[in-house]
Amino acid sequence: MSFNLTAITGATVTGFTTPTYTVTADVAPSNNGKQWAITATGGTQAGVDVNTVSKPFTMSFFRPAVLKALPAANPVTGVIKSVPTNTYKLITRKGAAPAANQPPQMVRITTIIEVPAGVDTYEPEDLKAALSAHIGGLSQQSTGISDTVTSGII
């Protein structure tokens, strides 16, 4: 199944109780991506704004504009000289004011996934394990990450 956001159950972070996010399909900035706007929040999230023109709240997923395949191996040595990489990105954008009476600035959270061509077919289980661990680690440590980016203490 392809990347397709539906209602999001947010990860646990200090001060939010059972956060949820309602999404609506939006137009991605490029034709090799999909985008959703967060149009409603649920749970306890005091002061959180949903998507507006001046304070965007979006999630976009991009694949490479041109997917790269694994080239043929050298017929003599059997070695593949250069393995290309397909790069995928998930970008969350959230407008937020830096101080009172100041224009909103953009908070950007980007996860970049670099997949060497061929891994997707030769060892997809290792690719899936890496993604599972990465996303699980982000989810498990959402409070720690949230606390670190607000306090500066790692």
- pLDDT tens for 18-61 read 999 999 999 999 999 999 999 999 999 999 999 999 999 999 99
Across the beta sheet with 85-96, what order do the strands follow?
8-9, 17-26, 33-44, 57-62, 85-96, 105-116
Query: 43: phi > 0 → left, psi -120 to 50 → alpha, else beta; which?
Result: left
Tokens (6 digits) for 123:
């060892």
Q: Where are the domains of the chain?
A: 8-70+83-151
Give the separation between CA 101 and CA 127, rounded to whole angstroms.
46
How far is Cα 81 from Cα 72, in angstroms, rounded to an integer?
9
Statement: residue 1 has pLDDT above 70: no
d(CA 63, CA 30): 10
| Rounded Cα gap, residues 20 and 39, in angstroms | 11
CATH architecture label of 8-70+83-151:
Beta Barrel (2.40)
- What does the block give as tokens for 109? 């959270």
pTM: 0.89
Torsion of CA 140, 108, 86, 33, to 10 degrees: 110
- Please write the tens of the pLDDT for every residue from 84-117: 999 999 999 999 999 999 999 999 999 999 999 9
Give CA separation, 64 vs 13, 69, 131, 147, in Å: 32, 12, 17, 33
